[in-house]
A and B are shown apart, each in its own frame.
Chain A
Amino acid sequence: MSDVTLASHAAVRPARKGVSRGALSRLGLGAGLAWLGLAGATALLPEAGDFERTQDFAAIAGVIGFAIAAATLLGLRSSGLARRLRYGAPWLVALALFFLVWELVTAKYQRLPMPFFPPPQAILEVFLDDGARLADSVWHSLLLLVVGYAVGATLGFVLGVAVGWSVLVGYWAHPILRFVGPLPATAWLPIAFFIFPSSWSASTALIALATAFPVTVLTWSGIASVNKGFYDVARTLGAKQSFLILRVAIPAALPHVFVGLFMGLSGSFAVLVVAEMLGVKSGLGWYLQWAQGWAAYANMYAALIVMAVLCSSLITGLFRLRAYLLSWQKGLVQW
């Protein structure tokens, strides 16, 4: 429960001292060629539909291909770049193949039903032509999420510490937490939209709620599981109550708190998207809903990709924060 166990490949595998030049040039040039092949196939094969950005997509693939090839040649001199290339080359090849297959079964030979499965250049088109609206959606989603998450995480943390520390608070908070906590925050949505003055404040509150529950419970369990010897040591050395809470209980509980923060973040993503689909008139969830209304499937995929990048970045940020604050722990998972 206390730690996510994802073995990172790079961390587990012992670092290789040198990369042989032959292997590197084979791998790197192979990846470069794969991307150039993708560029050629996209540019030259006849298309079944009419796509505006086919040549742009081909050009981008070509630039990537040349960049990989150039990096390979440079990598023969710089060992750092060589190691990264060697590690990433199989993925680069796989990505090129993925795009090629996607390109072939959609734009070129139409093996997939067309409006539902747009080719890569159609998604590129969305990014290029509807980028402003997407960026605006990202901004609004981020605003909603950050405010709601910050409020929820702060409240959850403070409540968790209070419940873990004070018998009185625990007595009153425990039954409420048990009764209300497991309810999915989205279930409150219809009520929240008429209780709160605006759909934005309602969504903020729900995101805060979705975040606060796991953060409260895990902070509480973290505080409850602190080694009692820490308190004895601190007390014999002259610690007052505030020192016991701030300098003993909270630092000791922090690993648990972070598990709660991760759970809260995943939960808040779900509430964000649902809230934006059902009430808030902006953001990525709204964009998805809007694109579906117009049967603009390329826009939906584009929004999904942006959403994945956004969520992944936020999780990465949280991992970084944890790595910084909990650097004293042994065997921390790298994200």
Chain B
Amino acid sequence: MVAAALRAEESARGVGLDVAHVSHAFDLKGVSLPVLDNVSFRVEPGAFVALLGPSGCGKSTLLRLLAGLDAPSAGTVSVDGAGVQGPDPAHVLVFQDPTLFPWRSVARNVALGLEARGLLKTQRYKVAEALELVGLSAFADALPHQLSGGMAQRVALARALVNEPRLFLMDEPLGKLDALTRITMQAELVKLWQRSGFTALLVTHDVEEALMLAQRLIVFSDRPARVRTTFVVDRPYPRHRDDPHLVALRREVLTLLGVEGGS
């Protein structure tokens, strides 16, 4: 019992992340297109960090490297001190597009991670738990084409949560949602993170979203992406959009990004 409890506690804790001198380039018909240039940063276990930068600067590529979907051209990515070799079920990636499998019901989409690892028989209850968590229990048997954009993205979150992630990578997961759904989902993401204790990395180009969610903002330059600067957002949760401290920070970040006036 004690051992199991200890293990549960350990698995619930987030991982530490170390990105050291990572460069990456795409090969486009023989022409090398650099997207990441000597990127280095660390993320402490359990932290919520936002990666902020202009569209197409290479943030998504960085996230794919962290998830182990691709290997960097140079440099190392390590999780808890060990180099990332490939995808790991405890390091999940949520995409901008929910990418639900249209031929599977909501519940079977959420069950995907368990099924892929052969754990469905013993841990099926986690599917219901994850659906409960995102408030979609009533839609377990619905098909993806019957869902709204916000609901589909929640299913994608549930699908990721079933794997009990220790590293939660999000690639503009709220990018395609309408403004209201987006605000609700931001609050839910914070709650999820506080409850589960995973390490969260959020890629976004929305400064306000980054300020609402993250403890630290890493700002990237245009492609090829380099770390320009880091902001620490030392405000308690739940945060408020009109918090003067956040408003001031927002102006500062926008000015840095070259947006006139910053408002």
Contacts and interface: CB of A to CB of B under 8 A. Distances in A.
Nearest to A235: B87
Given A237-B112, A237-B113, A238-B163, A230 B99 contact: yes
B92 interface: yes
Interface size class of A (residues with CB under 8 A): 20 to 34
A235 B69 contact: yes
Interface in B72-103: 87-89, 91-93, 95, 97, 99, 101-103
A325 to B, nearest CB: 9
A329 B102 CA distance: 8
A236 B101 contact: no
A230 B116 contact: no
Nearest to A232: B69
A178 interface: no
Contact of A236 (B69, B102, B104, B143): B69
Nearest to B156: A233
Interface size class of B (residues with CB under 8 A): 20 to 34
Nearest to B146: A330
B95 A237 contact: no
Interface stretch (A66-74, A143-151, A246-254, A275-283): A246-254
B25 to A, nearest CB: 20
A316 B68 CA distance: 47
B163 A328 contact: no
B29 interface: no
B116 A229 contact: no
Interface string A218-258: 00000000010110111111111001000110011010000
A236 B92 contact: yes
A237 B99 contact: no
A-B complex: 7 closest residue pairs judged by Cβ atoms? A238-B89, A237-B113, A239-B116, A229-B99, A328-B103, A238-B117, A236-B93
Interface of B: 64, 67-69, 87-89, 91-93, 95, 97, 99, 101-104, 112-113, 115-117, 143, 145, 159-160, 163
17 contacts: A229-B97, A232-B99, A233-B101, A236-B67, A236-B93, A237-B89, A237-B160, A238-B87, A238-B88, A238-B113, A238-B116, A239-B116, A243-B115, A243-B116, A252-B101, A328-B145, A330-B145
